[in-house]
């Protein structure tokens, strides 16, 4: 029993892992000439990582969000003429975190492990908007516009995982992100509900470890 209890499972050097998680992240988007806005990314995130040593790993993730809102409203003018207003809004957001993972738990073979995460997240944002107004079936307004921007974010936070098989772990990552572009902090703090420019996020899901070795 003693020998069996000492049979350990640890990541092999240069081994890979893949993670699929539920995710909820907020990012402050800065577009030149516009006030900063807040966008969410989720509800999923996928990661691929590699252990460089038993305590250091590097990983890259991907998550995306798509929003579509299309509406038509009808009414009449004071003179009784029929009116209509059509509005269309669509947005695409992609987030690509590149992080270093540092194992903090002293014993790497324990089922419960605590990690620290730090790195950079690149977010690509694109939107498209359109507004069309008609009076008595005559177009009186037809506007369309959109923005496209890429922002980078400092990203860091704690993580915890629980190993329940040779290859599988339940994993929870919590992160703070801060846009590296200059932002009007007065507007951000009051309107975007951030703390010193940081936005919170989390991931919860499963991690699959490849090439796990036994250590006697």
Round to whole Å and give the CA distance between 173 and 22: 10
What's the CA gap between 159 and 176, in Å, rounded?
A: 12
pLDDT confidence tier of residue 136, bands split at 50, 70 and 90: confident
Band the pLDDT of 13: cuts 50, 70, 90. low
How would you class 164 by CB atoms within 10 Å of its CB: exposed for 0-12, middle for 13-18, buried for 19 or more? exposed
Supply the pLDDT for residue 212. Answer: 63
Residue 171 contacts residue 164 (beta carbons within 8 Å): no
| CATH numbers and ranges of domains, the chain | 15-209 (2.40.160.20)
Q: What spatial distance separates the first Cα and last Cα of the chain, rounded to whole Å?
A: 13
Per-residue pLDDT of 146-184, as tens digits, reads: 889 999 999 999 999 999 888 899 999 999 999 998 766
pLDDT, residue 181, reads 83
Supply the pLDDT for residue 106.
83
Give 109's pLDDT tier (boundaries 50, 70, 90): confident
Q: Kindly report, residue by residue over 15-47, the tens digit of the pLDDT.
A: 899 999 999 999 988 887 776 778 889 899 999
Per-residue pLDDT for 193 more than 60? no
| pLDDT at position 1 | 41
């Amino acid at each position: 029993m003693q020998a069996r209890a000492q049979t350990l499972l640890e990541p092999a050097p240069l081994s890979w892992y893949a993670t699929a998680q539920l995710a909820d992240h907020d990012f402050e988007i800065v577009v030149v000439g516009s006030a900063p806005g807040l966008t969410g990314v989720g509800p999923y995130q996928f990661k691929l990582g590699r252990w460089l040593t038993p305590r250091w790993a590097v990983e890259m993730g991907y998550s995306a969000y798509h929003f579509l809102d299309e509406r038509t409203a009808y009414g009449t003018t004071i003179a009784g003429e029929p009116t209509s207003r059509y509005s269309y809004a669509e947005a695409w957001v992609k987030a690509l975190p590149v992080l270093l993972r540092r194992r903090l738990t002293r014993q790497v073979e324990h089922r419960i492990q605590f990690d620290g995460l730090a790195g950079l997240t690149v977010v690509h944002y694109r939107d498209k908007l359109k507004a069309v107004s008609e009076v008595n079936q005559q177009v009186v307004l037809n506007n369309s516009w959109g923005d496209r921007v890429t922002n980078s974010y400092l990203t860091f936070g704690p993580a915890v995982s629980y190993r329940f098989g040779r290859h599988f772990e339940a994993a929870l990552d919590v992160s703070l992100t801060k846009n590296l572009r200059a932002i009007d902090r007065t507007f951000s703090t009051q309107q975007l509900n951030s703390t010193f420019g940081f936005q919170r996020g989390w991931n919860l899901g499963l991690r699959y470890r490849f090439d796990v070795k036994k250590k006697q």
